[in-house]
Amino acid sequence: MSVGRITLWPMSTTAAVEAIDLVKHFGDTHAVDGVSFVVPEGTVLGLLGPNGAGKTTLVRMLTTLSVPTSGTGRVAGHDIVREPIQVRRSMGLTGQAATVDELLTGRENLKLIGALYGLPRAYVREATERLFDRFDLTYAADRQAKTYSGGMRRRLDLAVSLLAAPPILFLDEPTTGLDPHSRSGLWAVLRELVDEGTTLVLTTQYLEEADHLADEIVVVDKGTVIAAGTPTQLKDQAGRASVVVTLTHAADVDAAADLMRAHSPEVHVERSSRRLTAQAGGLSDMTRIAAVFEASGIELDDLGLARPSLDDVFLHLTGRRAEAQPGAETATDASTDATPEGATP
């Protein structure tokens, strides 16, 4: 279980975004209750949590849409409460619902936002061509956005957010409601942006998405941070890894189970699939078990180390599954195979 301890936020780099004890109450509801984190320049922070955890409220405060009840934050070094205009100049926001203007054409949407930024017309024209080309929207540039598919709207929304080339981009559930194909396409675009040096702060309910994109993950539940770290750190925290062995011959199952019990107290046997799972501390346990099988002459199809998924992490932290929230848009999510086995860490 030893991935070299990476310091959570290396202090040497400059912070692009900081949340400093942010609090937001709506009447008696404590939507956000004292959240702090730091996002170094050029990295991706994933805010992970179920519906209603406070992720959107956090993003709304950091992007100056919502005024914190207390606490503050900094975006590109500017205070979100005292210097909102500076903050707005330094960041782009892609909100939860694609906020493109449906009655305007794609091109007009960019023209509108360009005029509101006060960008030179020539730049807006040039940037529109470039962004539409990059997001494969050129063929639809002069069509009203209401004729766009969900994925096209998200891309247009992202193009709008990128028009002023912000060094920091906030994305609130960027892929919610997208089909898996559009989702992976959007992920590719986001990674390109990171490669170019953009700092991303994204919220998501999808563990897979956080795992895939984020350098650091902050897990939020009921308005507070319940865990933070790299995806690997969080997985380590959730529980131990296990060694999974698949035998070539069903006849070897009992002998193999005995062998493994000698090294691990808990061995789970699935006779039908010739699969044995043993609790393990990490890589060293795996190599030891591999050596034992090598010596025993029992033939193996496969041997590997299974780490807990972020889904297990969430379950471990909150006692609930992350994606089984009522009303959550998980219909398109292919998470059905990632379920109950190992549900109790």
Partner 1 sequence: MTAVRSQPTTLSPTERPPISPPSLLRAASTIVWRNLIHIRRMPEMLLDVTVQSVMFVLLFAYVFGGAIAVDGSNYREFLLPGIMVQTMVFSSAVVAMGLTSDLQKGFVDRFKSLPVPRPAVLVGRSISSLIHSSIGIAVMAVTGLLIGWRIRNGVVDGVLAFLLLLLFGFAMIWLGIWVGSLMRTVEAVQGFMFTIMFPLTFVANTFVPTESMPAWLRAISEWNPVSALTQACRELWGNGLPAPADAAWPLQHAVTVSIGWSFLLTAIFAPLAVAAFRRRSRD
Contact residues for partner 1, defined by CB under 8 A: 26, 60, 63-67, 85, 88-89, 91-93, 95-97, 99, 101-104, 108, 112-113, 115-120, 123, 127, 130, 133-136, 144, 151, 155, 160, 162, 164-167, 181-182, 184-186, 188-189, 192-193, 196-198
Torsion of CA 54, 57, 59, 64, to 10 degrees: -160
- Residue 117: CB atoms within 10 A of its CB come to 14
Which of residues 155 and 235 has its CB atom nearest to partner 1 in the complex? 155
Which of residues 189 and 338 has its CB atom nearest to partner 1 in the complex? 189
Which of residues 174 and 308 has its CB atom nearest to partner 1 in the complex? 174
- Find the shortest distance in angstroms from Cβ 14 to partner 1: 13
- Find the shortest distance in angstroms from Cβ 28 to partner 1: 14
Which of residues 26 and 302 has its CB atom nearest to partner 1 in the complex? 26
Query: Are 162 and 110 spatial neighbours (Cβ–Cβ below 8 Å)?
Result: no
- Find the shortest distance in angstroms from Cβ 338 to partner 1: 23
Q: In the numeric block, which tokens belong to residue 288?
A: 């030891």
- Find the shortest distance in angstroms from Cβ 140 to partner 1: 12
Q: How far apart are CA 208 and CA 213, in angstroms?
A: 9
Which of residues 232 and 329 has its CB atom nearest to partner 1 in the complex? 329
Burial label, 268 (beta-carbon count in 10 A; 0-12, 13-18, 19+): middle
Query: Are 262 and 235 spatial neighbours (Cβ–Cβ below 8 Å)?
Result: no
Count CA atoms within 13 Å of residue 136 on its CB side: 8
- Find the shortest distance in angstroms from Cβ 211 to partner 1: 20
